[in-house]
């Protein structure tokens, strides 16, 4: 334990006081010797007495002088030592005072880290904060959360931060720990997040436990409950709590305040943790084989552009069906799944041995097998759109031209009849690990809104009042907007917050309090919905999304070379889209 600052104050050495008394006696000897010698020079003392005075005076005076000299020298030496001790004590006292104000209670290697974590979390009354790469002490954390929430008299604020498993830093952490393969750290992060999310949902506490993932370099390991915390560092070859750990107390102490401030900054930039999409919504196409003749057709086909005759694509599609009849069954499976489940991810499609242009053509022909292709720009054959950052400025921007977060939305809400299905092919993933696809079925949102009076008012407004949606500048040479309902009684949705906001600027009469309240409630419910899920696409992965019943979005990314190809199409049950612009 750290001593009190008052226990460290030095006392004046006893030798200093003793020297002071000897010095007084020495001065008395000098004075006595001087007096005896002076008296000896007066007449009338007699020879014997005079000699006696001279003898004593001669003895006392030099003795006193020498004593004063030596005592003074010794006194200076002792005082220097005392001053040194005093300075050391002052510095020590200040150091201890800083340790006390920093909040540090102890620094040691935990004998039982599991018990320490369990004890800390279980006794929390108001707040719990966890910041880790992944959570080795997950079972203790779960037990602690269960105990803390059971005994809590007031609502608790619980925040858990883990490293983003798709971040390159997760791979580096695996290497630091000597894992083979080095992706083991990423797998452990995913497992921790998945298990914690499953536990919270099973316990009915998921709304109270806020879980996010960060992409920053991790600076320290943190378990905090109320005004206490355990701080560790990320060592090479060892997990954080296997090394020395600081026990800290006092939320307003220097160290605690700094740690929590850092936590707040990381928390602001972190993304909500979203569980992976269901396994039955991922289809593995590794058993598919493209016929050799079809490969040659794809590789030798001319590049499609606006000058390509419209019937050329039809001819290629007829040739595809003839050479690979299996495409019909695959197309039907895609349509059935997007109708019933809302989305489907196709992995390991046989794009191997195809050039980038041939892959694009194969993707285009596959979607043509599913329905009627719709051009992104009216009057042109812009069926395949490159979703990649562009260094351009537009009055009304669109998600497909920047690398920032794309909030949950549906495509083409600015068209009279938005396309039924949106298909994506990831041609070039972001090396930073960003650009993760987020999905949310609208049915879950509608159910949640129907459970409150405010939610029901919101639903009524969205089903009975039209909202303007501006056409992004890249798709329209002049400002334009389409006015439509956001929700229908059939359970379909057309919603994109940025184009609606721009639409209200173009048509300010639509900006009423009732509409703005409905948008606020609807947007908040979408943003915090626990039914959101996510998927990380790899190179060559495709995803098909029902644009009428599922909202989609993506996380931000830094690698501007990321390239995603998008195709919109209508199924046989929907009319071909007629753009308003």
Name, in order, each residue with C-beta under 8 angstroms of 447's C-beta and a sequence gap of 6 or more: none
Instruction: Please name the CATH architecture into which domain 279-570 falls.
Output: 4-Layer Sandwich (3.60)
Query: Cβ(439)–Cβ(552) under 8 Å?
Result: yes
Nearest to 73 by CA among 113, 143, 19: 19
Treating both helix axes as pointing N-terminal to C-terminal, what angle do 442-449 and 513-527 enclose, rounded to 10 degrees? 120
The SS3 call for residue 406 is: strand
pLDDT in tens, the chain (581 residues): 445 444 444 555 555 555 566 667 666 766 776 776 676 666 556 666 666 766 766 776 677 677 766 666 766 676 676 666 666 655 555 554 554 556 677 777 777 888 899 999 999 999 999 999 999 999 999 999 999 998 877 889 999 999 999 888 888 888 888 888 778 889 999 999 999 999 999 999 999 999 999 988 777 899 999 999 998 888 777 777 777 888 888 878 888 888 899 999 999 999 999 999 999 999 999 999 999 999 999 999 988 877 777 788 899 999 999 999 999 999 999 999 999 999 999 999 999 889 999 999 999 999 999 999 999 988 888 899 999 999 988 889 999 999 999 999 999 999 999 999 999 999 999 998 899 999 999 999 999 999 999 999 999 999 999 999 999 999 888 899 999 999 999 999 999 999 999 999 999 999 999 999 999 999 999 999 999 999 999 999 999 999 999 999 999 999 999 999 999 999 975 433 333 32
Looking from the CA of 315 toward its CB, the CA atoms found within 13 Å total 9
Question: What Å distances lie between residue 52 and 30, 45, 47, 64, 523, CA to CA?
Answer: 17, 10, 9, 18, 115
Query: Cβ(109)–Cβ(209) under 8 Å?
Result: no
Domain layout of the chain by residue ranges? 5-101, 108-272, 279-570
**Claim: this prediction has a pTM higher than 0.85:** no
Name, in order, each residue with C-beta under 8 angstroms of 459's C-beta and a sequence gap of 6 or more: 446, 449, 450, 487
- What burial letters (b/e) apply to 360-394, b meaning 16+ CB within 10 Å? bbbbbbbbbbbbbbbbbeeeebebbbebbbeeeee
Instruction: Please name the CATH architecture into which domain 108-272 falls.
Output: 2-Layer Sandwich (3.30)
Tokens 């993932």 found at = 213
Tokens 């993304």 found at = 271
User: Which is it for the CA torsion 239, 243, 247, 252, positive or negative?
Assistant: negative
- Reported for 508-514, long-range contacts at CB under 8 A and 24+ positions apart, including other chains, are 510/466, 510/467, 510/468, 510/483, 514/461, 514/465
């Amino acid at each position: 334990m750290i001593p009190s600052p008052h226990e460290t104050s030095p006392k004046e050495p006893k030798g200093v006081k003793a020297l002071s008394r000897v010095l007084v006696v020495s001065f008395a000897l000098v004075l006595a010797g001087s007096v005896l010698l002076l008296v000896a020079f007066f007449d009338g003392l007699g020879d014997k007495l005079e000699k006696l005075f001279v003898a004593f005076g001669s003895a006392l005076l030099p003795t006193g002088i020498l004593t004063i000299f030596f005592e003074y020298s010794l006194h200076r030496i002792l005082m220097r030592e005392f001053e040194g001790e005093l300075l050391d004590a002052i510095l020590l006292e200040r150091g201890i005072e800083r340790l006390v104000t920093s909040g540090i209670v102890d620094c040691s290697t935990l004998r039982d880290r599991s018990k320490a974590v369990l004890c800390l979390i279980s006794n929390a009354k108001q707040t719990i904060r966890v910041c880790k790469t992944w959570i080795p002490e997950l079972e203790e954390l779960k037990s602690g959360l269960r105990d803390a929430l059971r005994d809590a008299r007031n609502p608790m604020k619980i925040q858990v931060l883990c490293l983003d498993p798709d971040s390159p830093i997760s791979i580096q952490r695996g290497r630091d720990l000597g894992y083979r393969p080095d992706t083991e750290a990423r797998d452990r992060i995913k497992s921790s997040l998945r298990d914690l999310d499953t536990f919270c949902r099973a316990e009915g506490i998921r709304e109270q436990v806020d879980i996010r993932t960060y992409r920053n370099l991790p600076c320290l390991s943190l378990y905090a409950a109320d005004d206490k915390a355990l701080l560790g560092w990320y060592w090479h070859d060892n997990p954080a709590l296997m090394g020395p750990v600081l026990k800290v107390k006092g939320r307003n102490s220097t160290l605690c305040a700094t740690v929590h401030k850092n936590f707040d900054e990381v928390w602001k930039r972190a993304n909500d943790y979203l569980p992976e999409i269901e396994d039955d919504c991922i289809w593995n196409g590794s058993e598919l084989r493209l016929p050799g003749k079809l490969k040659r057709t794809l590789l030798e086909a001319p590049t499609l552009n606006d000058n390509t005759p419209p019937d050329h694509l039809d001819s290629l599609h007829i040739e595809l069906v003839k050479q690979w009849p299996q495409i019909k069954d695959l197309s039907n499976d895609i349509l059935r799944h997007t109708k019933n489940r809302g989305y489907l991810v196709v992995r390991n499609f046989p794009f191997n041995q195809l050039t980038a242009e041939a892959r694009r053509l194969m993707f285009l022909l596959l979607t043509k097998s599913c329905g009627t292709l719709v051009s992104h720009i009216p009057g042109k054959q812009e069926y395949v759109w490159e979703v990649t950052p562009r260094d351009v400025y537009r009055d009304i921007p669109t998600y497909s031209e920047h690398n920032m977060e794309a909030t949950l939305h549906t495509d083409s809400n600015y068209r009279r009849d938005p396309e039924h299905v949106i298909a994506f092919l990831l041609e070039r993933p972001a090396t930073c690990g960003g650009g993760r696809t987020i999905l949310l079925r609208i049915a879950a949102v509608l159910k949640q809104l129907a459970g409150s009076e405010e939610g029901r008012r919101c639903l009524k407004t969205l089903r009975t009042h039209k909202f303007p949606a501006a056409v992004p500048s890249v798709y329209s040479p002049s400002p334009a907007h389409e006015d439509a309902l956001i929700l229908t009684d059939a359970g379909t949705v057309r919603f994109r917050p940025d184009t609606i906001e721009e639409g209200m600027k173009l048509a300010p009469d639509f900006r009423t309090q009732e509409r703005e309240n409905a948008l606020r409630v609807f947007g908040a419910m979408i943003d915090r919905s626990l039914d959101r899920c996510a998927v990380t696409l790899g190179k060559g992965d495709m995803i098909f999304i029902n644009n009428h019943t599922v909202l989609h979005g993506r996380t931000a990314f830094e690698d501007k070379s990321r390239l995603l190809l998008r195709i919109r199409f209508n199924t046989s049950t929907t009319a071909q889209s007629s753009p308003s612009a």
